[in-house]
A and B are shown apart, each in its own frame.
Chain A
Amino acid sequence: MNDCQNIAVREVLPELVHGALSDVERVRVQEHLDTCDDCAAELAIIRSVLRTTPAVTVNVASIAAAIPPYRRKSNGMRRVYMELAAACLIGAVGISAFALHNSRGAVATTAPAVAASVAGLAIVNTGELSDDGLAELTQDLDNLQAMPSADPESVTPVALEEIAPLGAVGDSQ
């Protein structure tokens, strides 16, 4: 079995088998193959190699067996992160407590004013009242005088005339 000297044809024999040649090229190669025993023999070898190629199969079981078992990640870094978070939380609580302690002076100065403003309000927990106390409280509420009616006085056109027009203010200046 010799090598044909027509390198151009021998180079494209694999493409011929895979159907990757144009129609023109395929006809040209086929014409050469009809007259060249060496290239025909080489083409037969190529086809035999393709036939001997085992079909590709996917062995799922072997793939699954080759996958290493799941191992939980080491929690070393996670522990560091948790410690950092705890440190930050403790720091934030400390700073908040410090700020609250410093602001108590201001609260103390305003506290009497607030107490005075609510001194007139009777905060009564009715749940602690006895029946007599509740009746007394109800009586007190009934005795409260309502706001006196304050009907607006009627305005006469004369009164409106006595009011200086708006433009007059600017003119007088």
Chain B
Amino acid sequence: MSTVEEGDAVTTFDALDTMVADESMLRVRRAVAQLSPKQKEVFTLRLEQGLSYKEIADLVGSTEGAARVHYHNAMRAVKEFLDDE
């Protein structure tokens, strides 16, 4: 007869947590995928590379203000996508 130990409970919790995290990541990935190419480019450079708006503007051939607008529009679109799901 097997007994339930404290370690088993922790393991079950970790697996569930991992599943939730994986699902959350999948949703975020889908949200980013539906962005426009320009939004996705700026969003990715800002978050993944940690570039400033000035650096992004230099890279994509735009202005600092335009890069800021693209980023915030992208973030708003991601939030709306996650809210609608």
Give the residue name and chain of the B residue nearest to A7 (CB): B72
Give the residue name and chain of the A residue nearest to B45 (CB): A14
Judging by beta carbons under 8 Å apart, are A45 and B78 in contact? yes
Tell me whether A48 is interfacial, beta carbon within 8 Å.
yes
What bracket does the count of chain A residues touching chain B fall in? 10 to 19
Judging by beta carbons under 8 Å apart, are A51 and B50 in contact? no
How far does the alpha carbon of A14 sit from the alpha carbon of B42 in the complex, in Å? 13
Judging by beta carbons under 8 Å apart, are B24 and A48 in contact? yes
- Chain B residue contacts of A46, Cβ below 8 A: 47
Judging by beta carbons under 8 Å apart, are A48 and B25 in contact? yes
Judging by beta carbons under 8 Å apart, are B79 and A50 in contact? no
| Number of B positions contacting A (CB below 8 A) | 19
Give the residue name and chain of the B residue nearest to A41 (CB): B79
Q: Mind listing 22 A-B residue pairs with CB under 8 Å?
A: A3-B72, A3-B76, A3-B79, A14-B46, A14-B47, A15-B50, A18-B50, A20-B50, A41-B79, A42-B75, A42-B79, A45-B79, A48-B24, A48-B25, A48-B28, A49-B47, A49-B48, A50-B47, A50-B48, A51-B25, A52-B28, A52-B29
Chain A positions near chain B (C-beta within 8 angstroms): 1, 3, 14-15, 17-18, 20, 41-42, 45-46, 48-53
7 additional A-B residue pairs with CB within 8 Å, beyond A3-B75, A20-B50, A45-B78: A1-B82, A14-B47, A45-B28, A45-B79, A49-B47, A51-B21, A52-B25
